[in-house]
């Protein structure tokens, strides 16, 4: 009988000991990541080993969304073979870039990098207050200053905002600068850009331009990578189309100067000797809009 009591007492003690946590780790209900690499401030208190703390930080670095304490405990049990009690019951992990992106409300603007004077890797809190972000000029790309407000506390951030752009890239290498350009030489692609560079976008009229430099397949065509060709020469006969609301006329005039696509040049009517100005629209063609 005594042996049975001793055995039951031993088994009960062993069960209690086995269910007791080896250590405890207390974090926060909300972790808003500002830096990619996390520091010890995302842990409120813990008596766990440094190895466990580092593993927890790595988990947060790669997490986004709602983490359950039960899942974290199971993870630590599997990875470290120890029972770790994690609290609170749920941890909401998010990235400050996502909060800024949501506050801007423009899918074409992309948050690339955030700098902060907050001396920690993340903004952590246990309240249910709403995180508010305000920026007066975040509707355009560039480096912007933002105010982040949580309750009565305000923090200042700076963010590098890029923009999505549709541009044209080459489908082949072009090493002959005199090669005639065609829309078939290019394809439309989407890039993420700082917003301070201009790109060529008039592909339907690319035949009137020439490259300023050698370009390789995949290169994006910038506005300064091409120059308009001279498509009207001094003394050429130019067909001039005259447009107004009631009638369309055309006359032939003599060019008084060379001209490139889009230039406005002076021409002379050979019958009346009257001089007119018109915008070049094609090879030896121009138009006047009245």
Question: In this predicted model, what pLDDT tens digit does every residue of 239-281 receive, in sequence order?
Answer: 999 988 777 889 999 999 999 999 999 999 998 999 999 999 9
Residue 10 has pLDDT above 60, yes or no: no
Q: Which residues are within 8 A (CB) of 256 and not within 5 positions of it... i.e. 6 or more apart?
A: 234, 265, 266, 267, 268, 275
Residue 282 has pLDDT above 50, yes or no: yes
| Cα Rg of the chain, angstroms | 34
Bridge partners of residue 153, in order along the sequence: 150
Bridge partners of residue 66, in order along the sequence: 92
Question: In this predicted model, what pLDDT tens digit does every residue of 106-141 receive, in sequence order?
Answer: 999 999 999 988 889 999 999 888 889 998 889 999
Model pLDDT, residue 20: 63
Q: How confident is the model at residue 229 (pLDDT cuts 50, 70, 90)?
A: very high
Span 17-23, mean pLDDT?
A: 64
**How would you label 163-175 residue by residue, b for 16+ Cβ within 10 Å and e otherwise?**
bebebbbbeeebe
Residue spans per domain, the chain = 22-94, 96-162, 163-228, 230-289
Inter-axis angle of helices 69-80 and 50-61, nearest 10? 130
User: How many whole angstroms separate alpha carbon 105 and alpha carbon 107?
Assistant: 7
**How would you label 106-132 residue by residue, b for 16+ Cβ within 10 Å and e otherwise?**
eeebbbeebebebeebbbbbeeeeebe
How would CATH label the architecture of 230-289?
A: Roll (2.30)
Model pLDDT, residue 15: 40
Bridge partners of residue 224, in order along the sequence: none
Question: In this predicted model, what pLDDT tens digit does every residue of 80-90 receive, in sequence order?
Answer: 888 999 999 99
Model pLDDT, residue 151: 86
Is-above-0.85 flag for pTM? no
Question: In this predicted model, what pLDDT tens digit does every residue of 200-226 receive, in sequence order?
Answer: 999 999 999 999 999 999 999 999 999
Model pLDDT, residue 244: 83
User: How high is the mean pLDDT of the chain?
Assistant: 90
Class level of CATH domain 163-228: alpha beta
Residue 4 has pLDDT above 60, yes or no: no
Residue with tokens 């309750």: 151
Residue 9 has pLDDT above 60, yes or no: no
């Amino acid at each position: 009988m005594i042996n049975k009591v001793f055995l039951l007492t031993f088994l009960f003690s062993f069960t209690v000991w086995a269910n007791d946590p080896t250590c405890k780790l207390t974090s926060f209900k909300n972790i808003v990541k500002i830096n990619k690499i996390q520091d010890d401030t995302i842990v409120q208190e813990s008596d766990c080993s440094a190895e466990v703390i580092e593993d927890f930080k790595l988990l947060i670095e790669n997490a986004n969304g709602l983490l359950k304490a039960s899942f974290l405990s199971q993870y630590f049990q599997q990875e470290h073979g120890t029972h770790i009690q994690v609290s609170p019951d749920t941890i909401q992990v998010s990235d400050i870039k996502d909060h800024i992106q949501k506050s801007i409300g423009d899918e074409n603007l992309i948050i690339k990098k955030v700098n902060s004077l907050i001396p920690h890797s993340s903004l952590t809190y246990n309240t249910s207050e709403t995180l508010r972000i305000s920026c007066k000029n975040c509707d355009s790309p560039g480096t912007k200053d933002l105010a982040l407000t949580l309750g009565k506390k305000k923090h200042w951030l700076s963010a590098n905002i890029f923009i999505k752009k549709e541009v044209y890239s080459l489908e082949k290498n072009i090493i002959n600068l005199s090669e005639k350009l065609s829309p078939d030489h290019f394809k439309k692609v989407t890039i993420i850009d700082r917003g301070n560079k201009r790109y060529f976008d008039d592909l339907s009229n690319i035949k009137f331009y020439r490259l300023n430099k050698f370009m390789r397949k995949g290169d994006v065509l910038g506005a300064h990578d091409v120059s308009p060709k001279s498509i009207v020469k001094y003394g050429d006969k130019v067909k001039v189309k005259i447009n107004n609301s009631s009638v369309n006329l055309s006359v032939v005039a003599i060019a008084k100067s060379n001209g490139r696509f889009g230039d406005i040049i002076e021409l002379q009517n050979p019958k009346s000797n009257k001089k007119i100005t018109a915008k070049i629209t094609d090879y030896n063609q121009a138009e006047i809009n009245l």
